[in-house]
């Protein structure tokens, strides 16, 4: 018996894209026989999203009906998906497949080795000697990252046992984010960090983008596709945004409502 699957997208953002649909006539059991997405087609789509980007590969996604397009923008890797009709795109980093029978069952929390994170390279928000450390992979132009930044500051006003280690990880879809991250990391300035998340103008970077590139490579190696993504001191990983009270409970490893998996922009 064939198993049925559902798709869970890390980013729920569908964008209409005007194009002619394939007729679909004459398809056999495998629709790939009559649906094609040429690299040039993918490049035309990418130009509308990130003109400076380049398509590195077009391949069939794990889910039928979607093409996966691997891209590189300013040295950063990214992914988007195109439906077979070439009418919609899905912006996201990964597709997770699970049997319908598993819906509703507890999902094991992803774990990483926290001790291997290069905390000395992060910008520290909170007391460095805090007992409970949390690494945060975040993007200055991500709306939910901005909300999380405010919630972290609110939490720190009430707790002195927590410190957030900020790894700026600009996503390719945000054209100005790389330069903003670069400007902040060059100075390792909390003031510039706050300015970046407040949308204030930043000075020109005074160093190379080497640290930004290292942060992106680290996030990629950990398979952190979206932002924000947090890592607790015990290695627990949480993608998404939480309000301060729920964030505090998560840090204490108490069972609370899951993170709000907003569009991780």
Per-residue pLDDT of the chain (265 residues; tens, 9 = 90+): 433 333 333 333 334 443 333 333 333 344 444 568 889 988 888 888 778 788 999 988 777 778 888 888 777 777 888 888 777 877 655 555 555 565 455 556 678 999 999 999 999 999 999 999 999 999 999 989 999 999 999 999 999 999 999 999 998 888 899 999 999 999 999 999 999 999 999 999 999 999 999 999 999 999 887 899 999 999 999 988 899 999 999 999 875 444 544 333 3
What is the helix, strand, coil percentage profile of the chain, to 5? Answer: 30, 25, 45
Phi (first) and psi of residue 228, to 5 degrees: -80, 155
Ranges of H-type helices in the chain: 39-49, 143-156, 177-187, 190-198, 210-221, 244-251
CB 139 within 8 A of CB 227: yes
List the structure tokens of 113: 């080795």
Cut 0.75: pTM above it? no
Distance between CA atoms of residues 131 and 212, nearest Å: 27
Domains defined along the chain, listed by start: 5-102 (no CATH), 114-251 (3.40.30.10)
């Amino acid at each position: 018996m064939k198993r049925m699957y559902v798709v869970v997208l890390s980013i729920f953002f569908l964008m209409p894209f005007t194009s002619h649909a394939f007729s679909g006539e004459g398809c056999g059991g495998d629709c790939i026989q009559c649906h094609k997405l040429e690299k040039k087609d993918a490049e035309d789509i990418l130009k509308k999203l990130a003109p400076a980007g380049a398509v590195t590969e077009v391949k069939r996604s794990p889910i039928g009906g979607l093409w996966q397009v691997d891209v590189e923008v300013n040295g950063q890797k990214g992914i988007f998906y195109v439906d077979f009709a070439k009418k919609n795109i899905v912006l996201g980093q990964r597709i997770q497949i699970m049997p319908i029978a598993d819906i509703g069952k507890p999902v094991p929390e992803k774990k990483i080795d926290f001790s291997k994170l290069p905390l000395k390279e992060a910008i520290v928000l909170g007391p460095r000697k805090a007992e409970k450390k949390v690494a945060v992979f975040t993007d200055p132009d991500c709306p939910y990252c901005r909300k999380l930044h405010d919630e972290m500051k609110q939490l720190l006003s009430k707790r002195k046992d927590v410190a957030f280690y900020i790894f700026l990880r600009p996503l390719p879809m945000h054209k100005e984010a790389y330069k903003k991250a670069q400007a902040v990391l060059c100075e390792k300035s909390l003031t510039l960090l706050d300015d970046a998340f407040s949308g204030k103008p930043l000075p020109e970077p005074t160093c190379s983008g080497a640290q930004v590139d290292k942060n992106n490579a680290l996030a990629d190696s950990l398979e952190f596709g979206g932002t924000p993504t947090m890592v607790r001191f015990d290695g627990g990983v949480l993608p998404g945004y939480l309000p301060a009270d729920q964030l505090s409970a998560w840090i204490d490893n108490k069972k609370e409502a899951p993170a709000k998996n907003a569009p991780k922009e």
